[in-house]
Amino acid sequence: MRLTACDVRALDAGAEPGQLVPDAMALCPELELHASDREADRKALERLSVWCGRYTPWVAADPAGLGEEPDGLLLDITGCAHLFGGEAKLLSLLCGRLEGFGLTARCAIASTPGAAWACARYGCEAPCIVPPGKEAEALRSLPVAALRLGGEEIDGLVRLGLKRVGDLYGKPRAPLVARFGANIARRLDEALGFEPEPISPNLPHIPYRTSLAFTEGLTRQAHIEEAIKRLAADLCEVLEQERKGARRIELQLFRVDGEVTRLFAGTSFATHEASHLAGLFHEKLGFLGDDFDPGFGIEAITLACLAVDPLSLEQGSFDKTGEQRFGLEQFVDRVSNRFGADRVLRLEPRASHIPERGGAAVSALRGISPAMRGWKTYMGEHRAAVLGGSLPRPLRLLPVAEPVDVVAEVPEGPPRIFHWRKIAHRVLRAEGPERVSPEWWRGGNQRTRDYYRVEDAEGRRFWLYRDGLYHRDNDGPRWFLHGVFE
């Protein structure tokens, strides 16, 4: 067992990461040990990276995309610092907040990610800002490990006597590359700004985003909603200028204690109507009700469009129909965002003869799909097959067919009496069988079904089927009730 991390006091006592536990205990008997939990560490870092989203939308875990576990955050504050009163203010604000959360953090601002990384991890303990163009000076006295190199490369350099980053300045490149590969030269150039190094954030690129910060935390829902209205108005102004409409929006509520609540809303049509967007979050917050906890207050709110569509050129017709269509879509948006997209549905036909696969309910947020036009042909096909005006398919289909006890006159004939949900039904009229063969290409042991439409003595109509065939299936067919007719 080895130590994976130590706090400042443990470091002072002589313990260090990578040390064997007995060695550390020998140095410092009063050492307090906790089992390391990588999953929890990763999650905590992820939460922190979301929280850092209030300073800049470009936050990446560090090292991003490498094999190692990330143990830091990279923030691209280009164009963001002035919103917080300059780089120095931003840095002290950030450090102060992190300290408030009880975290020990080392921060540095530099023109390149490499230089900032080196200063934060190997520079002085206090937060530092490297002015543009002074990277070489700032890194000169740091150990070569500050260049984000692998263990072998560091050992090799140290063996050659190149212990400081400054030792590498002005050295001929060719022998270095020949001996260690191109990595060392590349890392040095990246740190000094001779080679570009983009940060890839762990968030999708968000083109439209507005935020509001408050000096005093908001605790009342009405106040929060008012702030959302203002943000939506700002966002929609930008959208309208670009002739875009929002399809998916995200609301982030930053609590004073560092928790971030993220709410998502979708729309079924591209819109830049501020009151509609704000209304969607009104539904969300309303549905959360008492579950929504603003804690000690909401100190900042961010509203961002995750997906936009170009606005359709047809803008409301003169007759009433256009207006009504709009009302329908707004209704679908509101209800879907309040209760979930799977609670407002439209029916869609599917190309299958198996009854339960013949139709599906899909979210109405997706609008009318081309497949829904298929209902017309479906209706035509089935009308022709009906005898005497009774209908071929039931209005209600059970999600799972329920087994029933059946008495039939002849084994392959229609049922005469069946018991369903503890009630006996005497069948007077029956029509069938309508044979539905299994879809062999799906595999599994499905059996052939013979469907009967039956009517009992009181005039109630049901849809029953016999599962399996007498001559083929040895254990004998069983009966199921699958639907209830009108």
Binding residue for another protein, selected from 4, 141, 200, 390, defined by CB under 8 A: 390
Strand partners of residue 309 = 245
For residue 324, give Cα distances in angstroms to 275, 320, 327: 18, 6, 5
Q: H or E stretch including 432?
A: strand 423-436
Gap between the Cα atoms of 100 and 63, Å rounded: 25
Query: How far, CA to CA in Å, does 441 sit from each of 349, 352, 444, 445?
Result: 20, 12, 9, 11
**Residue 301 near residue 249 (C-beta atoms within 8 A):** no
Stretch that binds another protein, among 116-124, 210-218, 425-433, 467-475 (CB under 8 A): 425-433
Smallest gap from residue 346 Cβ to another protein (A): 6
Q: Is 311 in the site for another protein (CB under 8 A)?
A: no
- What is the contact mask toward another protein in residues 439 to 478, using x (rule: CB under 8 A)? --------------xxxxxxxxxx----------------
Among 398, 408, 436, 469, binds another protein (CB under 8 A): 398
324 contacts another protein (rule: CB under 8 A): yes
Q: Which of 193, 266, 294, 355 binds another protein (CB under 8 A)?
A: 355
Select from 79, 96, 423, 475 the one that contacts another protein (CB under 8 A).
423
**Exposed, middle or buried: residue 396 (CB in 10 Å: 0-12, 13-18, 19+)?**
exposed
3-state SS of 297-338?
CEEEEEEEEEEEEECCCCCCCCCHHHHHHHHHHHHHHHHHHH
Looking at residue 172, what DSSP letter applies?
-
Nearer to another protein, 396 or 472 (CB): 396
- Tokens 């470009």 -> residue: 58
Q: Which is nearer to another protein, 167 or 348 (CB)?
A: 348
- β-sheet bridge partners, residue 109: 129
Residues 178-237 that bind another protein (CB under 8 A): none
Contact stretch for another protein (CB under 8 A) within 197-205, 249-257, 311-319, 375-383 = 375-383
Short-list 411, 418, 419, 453, CA closest to 433: 453
Of the pair 302, 337, the CB lying nearest another protein is at: 337
The binder of another protein chosen from 63, 72, 359, 438 (CB under 8 A): 359
By three-state DSSP, how is residue 430 classified? strand
Question: Closest Cα partner for 255 from 50, 429, 439, 441?
Answer: 50
The yes or no reply on residue 424 touching another protein (CB under 8 A) is no
Sole window of 83-91, 98-106, 271-279, 378-386 interacting with another protein (rule: CB under 8 A): 378-386
**Per rule CB under 8 A, is residue 431 in the interface with another protein?**
yes
Site for another protein in 142-161 (CB under 8 A): none
Segment contacting another protein (CB under 8 A): 76-84, 96-104, 300-308, 347-355?
Answer: 347-355
The CA distances from residue 397 to 189, 356, 359, 371, 393, in Å, are 68, 8, 10, 21, 9
- Longest CA–CA span in the chain (Å) reads 101
191 vs 197: CA distance, rounded Å: 9
Q: Does 345 bind another protein (CB under 8 A)?
A: yes
485 part of the interface to another protein, by CB under 8 A? yes
Q: Which of 63, 166, 217, 349 touches another protein by CB under 8 A? A: 349
Minimum distance between the CB of residue 486 and another protein, rounded to whole angstroms?
Answer: 2
Q: Binding to another protein by residue 348, rule CB under 8 A?
A: yes
* Binding track over 265-304 against another protein, x by CB under 8 A: ----------------------------------------
Looking from the CA of 362 toward its CB, the CA atoms found within 13 Å total 15
Task: Write the CB contacts of 290 (distance below 8 Å, at least 6 apart in sequence).
Answer: none
317 scored as a contact of another protein (CB under 8 A) = no
The one segment of 68-76, 154-162, 192-200, 321-329 that binds another protein by CB under 8 A: 321-329
- DSSP per residue over 449-483, as a string? EEEEEEEETTS-EEEEEEES-TTT-TT--EEEEEE
Among 361, 407, 417, 424, binds another protein (CB under 8 A): 361
Minimum separation from the CB atom of position 273 to another protein (A):
15
* Residues binding another protein (CB under 8 A): 321, 324-325, 327-328, 330-332, 334-335, 339, 342-349, 355, 358-361, 364, 368, 372-373, 375, 378-379, 382-399, 423, 428-431, 453-462, 483-486
